Amino acid sequence: MKISIITAVYNREATIGQALQSVAEQSYDNVEHLIIDGASTDRTLDEVERFKTPNMRVISEPDDGIYHALNKGIDLASGDVVGLMHSDDFFAHTDVLKHVAQKFSSSWTDAVYGDLDYVSASDTNKVIRHWVAGQYASSKLRRGWMPPHPSLFLRSSVMKRWGGYDTSFRIAADYDSILRYFGRGNISAAYLPEVLVKMRVGGESNRSLERILRKSSEDYRALKKNEVGGVGALIWKNLSKLGQFVNKG
């Protein structure tokens, strides 16, 4: 099984190296790593070159944001399974992709996902939030459930059938895609009960009050677009995050 990992990046010279290294150090070796750079103006490409491996392909050109960049990566991906490695994130350990591949191989499933740790940007050993995804059931979608997007791996056939990211969403295209795949697509999913990815706090969706409000507005639009729910699901989605600050693993 070939796994394609997509990294969309723009001006992340301080963190891109750790992201790339965490992919390169995976014990599973049938991996394709696609770097989609938005024509960075800092030393990001120098860092990419420093960590470049034979299985890596680098595209650097202007794009229209992260979801446009990810769509380019999806179009280029040749793997049986597609996953993401955001430029501020890194895999939790060196056997992540090995465990993901084993899960796909042990039973037919369209998706594999696991847990996520939000870590301090200044000290990545400090866990701020611990997101335990839990087992999937279709009824959970109407209560705002979603798997952690960075820990989600999909068969490429799912994306070919149901499409990539809707770039009319500037912050919540990941949530929209998950509702499309799990809701309208009714895909099967297998849960790996372990932390797969560590994410630095301070992402695009929670950088300011204005962006938090915009995220909620886009989440609501995604729910209505995919006919999964409405205000109730949105409320439950936000309330579910509170436990992540209490239970840090």
> In the chain, what are the domain boundaries?
3-246
Q: What is the pLDDT of residues 19-49, one digit of tens each?
A: 999 999 999 999 999 999 999 999 999 999 9
Q: What is the pLDDT of residue 125?
A: 95
Report how many helices (DSSP H) and strands (DSSP E) the chain contains, helices first: 9, 9
Residue 248: its pLDDT value, please? 61
Count of alpha carbons within 13 Å of 172, Cβ hemisphere only?
20
* Fold exhibited by the domain 3-246: Spore Coat Polysaccharide Biosynthesis Protein SpsA; Chain A (3.90.550)
Average pLDDT value for the chain: 92
Residue 82 near residue 6 (C-beta atoms within 8 A) = yes
Helix ranges (DSSP H) in 84-241: 96-106, 156-162, 173-178, 209-225, 231-239
Q: What is the pLDDT of residue 107?
A: 82
Residue 208's pLDDT band, with cuts at 50, 70 and 90, is low
How far apart are the C-alpha atoms of 234 and 145, rounded to whole Å?
10
Decide: residue 123, CB within 10 A, 0-12 exposed, 13-18 middle, 19+ buried: exposed
Q: What is the pLDDT of residue 228?
A: 87
Residues 81 and 144: their CA atoms lie apart, in Å, by: 25
Record the tokens describing residue 174, joined without a space.
């990941």
Q: What pLDDT score does 21 carry?
A: 98
Does the pLDDT value for residue 137 go beyond 80? yes
Give residue 17's pLDDT band: very low, low, confident or very high (50, 70, 90). very high
pLDDT of residue 188: 97
Mean pLDDT score, 78-88: 98
What whole-number distance in Å separates Cα of residue 22 and Cα of residue 91?
6
- Which pLDDT value is given to residue 237? 72
Q: Tell me if residue 3 falls in helix, strand or coil.
A: strand
Task: Say which range, 68-77, 134-143, 184-193, 234-243, has the weakest mean pLDDT.
Answer: 234-243
